[in-house]
Amino acid sequence: MTRSRQLRLGAFMRPVSLHTGAWRYPGSYPDANFNFAHIKSFAQKLEAAKFDAFFMADHLAVLNMPVEALKRSHTVTSFEPFTLLSALAAVTERIGLAATASTTFDEPYHVARRFASLDHISNGRAAWNIVTTSNPDAALNFGLDEHVEHGERYKRAREFYDVVTGLWDSFADDAFIRHRESGIYLDPEKMHILNHKGEELSVRGPLNIARPVQGWPVIVQAGQSDPGRQLAAETAEVVFCSPRDLDGGKALYADIKGRMQAIGRNPDHLKMLPAAFVVIGDSIEEARTKRLSLDSLVHYDSAIASLSIALGHDASAFDPDAPLPKDIPETNASKTGRAQVIKLAQEENLTVRQLAQRYGGYSGLAFVGTPKSIADEMERWLDEEGSDGFNVVFPYLPQGLDDVTTRLVPELQRRGIFRNEYEGTTLREHLGLPRPKNRFFSD
């Protein structure tokens, strides 16, 4: 039986995994960052499991890290999202394709065009993850000496969104007549010249591509700060977020959907999808062991730095194989972080080394258990309005992905909270989002 509230599932991908030890996991493809064939097989499996979307995170610099961490990191290099997702568009038919594009370091004409083009090539499956790029190293790759200030970034992002969506509306859906006999290809009355001149941007238009199949590609937002949330409430149709637990999820859900109501937007027109790290075993115990074994592949030297940051205290003098010392001083820098570490150490009975490897590997929201126990948790998030679904992070590939598609998804389908078949052909249709009206032309 199908329930009225349905889970939406995205795959939050880095080719090898977000987990820094994953490339060393047995059966993994350490070269997936260079190997299109692997990623193609991931996308095709996700589509066979009826996932809503394949999402490609992106950064505009080699992430800044000490050389000890750098040399162990598979994150240094990977495909650029537009080229990768366009290639995937050609070898898939239904799954949505979400690319990250920065409003701080790109031009609205380019961004509008590329997403429109991806939407045409994929027949309506593109989504734009709007980011303002928090990594300060990116600025140095784009002619600046220092990063653009946070408020300024969000100001440009808001205007950038207006320009991009305005450019997508350059042509009415019925602008192209293509009448062979008369020789009329298009109706110039149905072409709009934007002539945008704002505080941050000046763009004439029109865009040199027809209106996207979806009207506009789906708008995704991943910022967590106050301006980030406000931008989401005003513009986003999907929010990628990273609450630590159900309470955090509920608070964020209520906050963003409340902001939408305050400005007159229908809260159903935005789907909250927290990132969730999913590790599946035959028993909860086995799943935990898998996770510990994955974490153990994170090198201690790079891991300990992450633990120190979380604790707000240098942890490098602690005995790695002993439990966390009891007397770690509180600091202003990290009250919540310290409390979380202590709670985790107790709950899972972890040594300093294991804690460090957890923080150095992946420390966000995780569901670790059997298909049944994880489906229970996901169902609870859905019922209690902690989220509208999840952006699944696979611990290791391909096995972690296969576990989700062949073991968890069938359990969710059995419960009637996840589709057995795609409802339509476009990403908007999968997500139950309306097609935006053209702001310059009525249908």
Ligand X SMILES: Cc1cc2nc3c(=O)[nH]c(=O)nc-3n(C[C@H](O)[C@H](O)[C@H](O)COP(=O)(O)O)c2cc1C
Q: Indicate the residue among 222 and 305 with the shorter CB distance to ligand X.
A: 222
Supply the minimum distance, in Å, between the C-beta of residue 227 and a copy of itself. Answer: 23
Give the Å distances, CA to CA, from 205 to 190, 208, 267, 437, 441. 14, 8, 32, 19, 16
Does residue 79 touch a copy of itself according to CB under 8 A? Answer: yes
List the one residue from 44, 142, 246, 407 that touches a copy of itself (CB under 8 A).
142
**Which one of ligand X, a copy of itself, none interacts with residue 125, CB within 5 to 8 A by kind?**
none
Would you say the C-alpha torsion 393, 232, 271, 237 has a positive or negative sign?
negative
Interaction between residue 131 and ligand X (CB under 6 A): yes
Looking up tokens 């800044």 gives 64
- In the set 3, 5, 76, 174, which binds a copy of itself (CB under 8 A)? 76
For every residue of 115-166, DSSP letters joined together read HHHHHHHTTS-EEEEEE----HHHHHTTT-SSPPPHHHHHHHHHHHHHHHHH
Residues 6+ apart with CB under 8 A from 10: 51, 52, 53, 54, 55, 96, 98, 238, 240, 273, 389, 390, 391, 392
> Judging by DSSP bridges, how do beta strands 176-179 and 184-186 pair with one another?
antiparallel
Using the rule CB under 8 A, is 114 a contact of a copy of itself?
Answer: yes
Least spacing, CB of residue 45 vs ligand X, in Å: 21
Q: How many residues bind ligand X (CB under 6 A)?
A: 19
| Structure letter (DSSP) for residue 211 | P
Q: Which amino acid, 295? A: D
Residue 31 partner contact from a copy of itself, ligand X, none using kind-dependent CB cut-offs of 5 to 8 Å? a copy of itself
Q: Which stretch, 45-53, 234-242, 249-257, 306-314, contacts ligand X (CB under 6 A)?
A: 234-242
- The interface region with ligand X, picked from 20-28, 44-52, 131-139, 399-407 by CB under 6 A, is 131-139
Give me the 3-32 binding string for ligand X, x by CB under 6 A, dash otherwise: ---------x--------------------
Residues 260-279 that bind ligand X (CB under 6 A): 275
DSSP state of 62: P
CB of 364 closer than 8 Å to CB of 291: no
CB of 134 to ligand X, least distance (A): 4
**Residue number with CB closer to a copy of itself (113 or 407):** 113
- Running DSSP on this structure, what letter comes out for residue 416? T
Find the binding residues for ligand X in span 306-365 (CB under 6 A).
none
The DSSP code sequence of 306-364 is HHHHHHTS--TTS-TTSBPPS-PPP-STTHHHHHHHHHHHHHHT-BHHHHHHHHHH--S
141 binds ligand X (CB under 6 A): no
Site string for a copy of itself, 406-435 (x = CB under 8 A): ------------------------------
The answer to whether residue 370 forms part of the interface with ligand X (CB under 6 A) is no
CA distance 410 to 416: 10
Examine residue 121 and tell whether it contacts a copy of itself (CB under 8 A): yes
Nearest approach, Cβ of residue 231 and ligand X (Å)? 8
Residues that bind ligand X (CB under 6 A): 12, 57-59, 100, 131-134, 222-225, 228, 240-242, 275, 391
